């Protein structure tokens, strides 16, 4: 007869005094990268587009305006700041006081252009000529809306481009152009603008002016149209 020994371990049962090895832990998944916020991405793309278009258009103007290269970067940064915080509805106004530096359409202009416009407006007013800004700084979206309207009006993009530039090619978007009204005011700038460095850019737009010469200098030959 076999006697059961209580101190003898059953080979089929685990030893209660033997330490149990820890279970291996499953590897933690790597955290997913957070996507760049859409708003920041859009602002970055707009900034790059504005800077690129300005850089492409700048050489011809910079060659004519002494000292312009030194202020171009600061002007572009100032324009971007105005665009980011501006009220688009105010940019679309068509009767703007050229001396209202708080208006985004005026505040976003290149400082030299803004000074020239205010100087010519001051002298025009002293001579009894009404003069105001009908369009200054524009957003890229606003410029695209104007181009779309022109396509509907003229029937094709090619014809519309004669009157309205693309957002990438518009000097309004970079703060380097201004439209003047009414007709008498625009005509006064056509005749006297070169004294302030202001020149009519397009032959078919007597209201569109850019800073394209030294004060008292000679304006370059006008382009036939915006296309």
- Whether 151 shows a pLDDT value over 90: the answer reads yes
pLDDT of residue 88: 79
pLDDT of residue 13: 56
* Entry field: residues in the chain: 227
For the residues 175-188, what does the mean pLDDT come to?
A: 98
| Chain-centre distance for alpha carbon 35 | 24
Percent of the residues in the chain that have a pLDDT greater than 70, as a whole number: 62
Among residues 110, 101, 116, 115, the alpha carbon closest in space to that of 71 is found at 110
- Whether 20 shows a pLDDT value over 80: the answer reads no
- Whether 227 shows a pLDDT value over 80: the answer reads yes
- Whether 194 shows a pLDDT value over 70: the answer reads yes
pLDDT digits (tens, 9 = 90+) for 131-143: 999 999 999 999 9
- Whether 9 shows a pLDDT value over 80: the answer reads no
Cβ-Cβ contacts under 8 Å for 154 (sequence gap 6 or more): 160, 162, 163
For the residues 27-35, what does the mean pLDDT come to?
A: 44
3.20.20.70, 3.40.50.720, 3.30.1380.10, 3.65.10.10: CATH of 58-211 = 3.30.1380.10
**Chain-wide mean pLDDT for the chain?**
78
Q: What is the pTM of this model?
A: 0.65
Report residue 17's pLDDT band, with 50, 70 and 90 as the boundaries.
low
Edge-to-edge strands, sheet with 132-135: 132-135, 178-181, 205-211, 198-202
């Amino acid at each position: 007869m076999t006697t059961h020994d209580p101190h003898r371990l059953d080979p089929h049962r685990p030893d209660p005094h033997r330490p149990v090895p820890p279970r291996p832990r499953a590897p933690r998944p790597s955290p997913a990268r957070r996507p760049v916020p859409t708003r920041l991405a859009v602002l970055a793309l707009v900034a790059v587009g504005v800077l690129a278009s300005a850089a492409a258009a700048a050489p011809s103007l910079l060659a004519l305006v002494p000292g312009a290269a030194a202020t171009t970067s600061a002007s572009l940064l100032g324009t971007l700041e105005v665009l980011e915080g501006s009220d688009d509805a105010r940019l679309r106004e068509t009767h703007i006081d050229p001396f209202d530096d708080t208006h985004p359409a005026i505040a976003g202009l290149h400082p030299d252009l803004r000074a020239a416009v205010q100087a010519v407006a001051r002298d025009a007013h002293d001579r009894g000529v009404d003069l105001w800004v009908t369009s200054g700084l524009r957003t890229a979206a606003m410029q695209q809306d104007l181009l779309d309207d022109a396509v509907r009006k003229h029937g094709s993009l090619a014809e519309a481009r004669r009157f309205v530039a693309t957002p990438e090619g518009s000097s309004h978007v970079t703060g380097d152009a201004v439209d003047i009204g009414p007709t008498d005011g625009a005509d006064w700038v056509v005749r006297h603008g070169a004294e302030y460095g202001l020149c009519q850019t397009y032959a078919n737009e007597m209201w569109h002016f850019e800073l394209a010469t030294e004060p008292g200098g000679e304006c370059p030959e006008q382009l036939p149209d915006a296309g």
